[in-house]
A and B are shown apart, each in its own frame.
Chain A
Amino acid sequence: MRHRAASILIAVLAASLLLGSSSVHAIAYTQMPTPQLEARYLHLIRNFRCMQCQDESLADSPVDLAAEMRRHIRDMLLAGKTDQQIRDFMVSRYGYFILFKPPFVAKTAWLWLTPGAVLLVGVIAALVIIRRRAVLVASDPQDDDLTDA
């Protein structure tokens, strides 16, 4: 009987500890009236950068400014704005820097195209080297340098 009382006490303490710590870290998101709006809201705030803690999203940042921006986004959603309109608004005030995923525009084209270009160069270089080597090996089997590589 005593044992049970003690274990209940421990369980209650552990639970209150868990609840207490979670309330410290969790960011109080406002509930949206419908699951659809809730999903759009969460998707939006996860893809905007907090301008103060710049490696965190608006969804993760605990600073006041992020809370105000979340509220502003919520208000725009409730006013019937589309995701694109909300993104455009945020970019018009804070610039592309606020987007975690940079858009494909003239200024960022190199960012999106470079990996493909590098891959293409690599594939071409590999093909050229393989062909050249095949030819060399066939014509000069004594060449150590090429056969042991």
Chain B
Amino acid sequence: MSRFVNRFTVPLAIFAVLVVVFAIGIKDSPDKDLIPSPLIGKPAPAFALPSLTDPGRKVTSAQYRGHWYLFNIWGTWCIDCRIEQPMLLRIKQTGIIPIVGLDWKDDPKDARSYLKQAGDPYQSIAVDQDGAEAIMWGAYGAPETFLVNPEGIVVYKRIGPITERAWAQDILPRLPLTSTPDAASSS
């Protein structure tokens, strides 16, 4: 009996430990499409970029100091952004939070005509034609949306289109209670 224990218990124990380690590794392996942003809890990048709708004007982070806002990175070339568009329009209708757009690597003319046709959910839109600003935000795809608080701190990042569920479960609960949570669905 003791010989049996000596011979098989150690390899079996090692095997069991490996199974547990690999099981945890597989279960917790990060979804490579959803890489957590190191910006969460940190100040959002300061920006001052030309406005898409009013090229003489600038869209700046300073204008949003003291306000909650959603920073939405999009482009007319991005299919998922078109899928997200109706949801952004609904968010605009609630009046709960302004959406600042970053028109990423796009032809401003295309962007303007697209918004005229599909509807414009943005309070203001900054132009990032060469893609330099998106790197500041650590963006690696579109759409990506950052929730920024009045102190200018990023509190949440959404990778991929904002869904009804993401809005109700991830964004609304992070906003101060003064805004009515039911407003989103009543639009």
Contact = CB atoms under 8 A, between A and B. Distances in A.
Q: Note whether A and B form a binding pair.
A: yes
Interface string B1-16: 0010000001000000
Contact of A72 (B3, B36, B135): B135
A113 B134 CA distance: 36
B131 A51 contact: no
A65 B35 CA distance: 16
A65 B133 CA distance: 12
27 contacts: A51-B35, A51-B141, A52-B141, A54-B32, A65-B140, A68-B130, A68-B134, A69-B135, A72-B132, A91-B38, A92-B38, A92-B39, A92-B42, A93-B136, A93-B137, A93-B138, A94-B35, A94-B38, A94-B138, A94-B140, A95-B36, A95-B37, A95-B38, A95-B138, A97-B30, A97-B35, A145-B3
Interface residues of A, number: 16
A93 B32 contact: no
Contacts, number: 41
B58 interface: no
Nearest to A52: B140
A140 interface: no
Contact of A93 (B3, B10, B38, B141): B38
Given A51-B35, A52-B140, A52-B141, A93 B105 contact: no
A64 interface: yes
- Mostly, the B contact residues are loop
Interface string B35-52: 111110010000000000
Interface string A66-82: 00110010000000000
Contacts of A92: 38-39, 42
Nearest to A95: B38
Most B CB contacts (10 A, CB to CB) among A69, A72, A94 go to: A94
Contacts of B39: 92-93
Interface string A99-115: 00000000000000000
A101 B134 CA distance: 24
Given A52-B140, A93-B136, A65 B131 contact: yes
A64 B35 contact: no
B6 to A, nearest CB: 9
A136 B132 CA distance: 71
A93 B36 contact: no
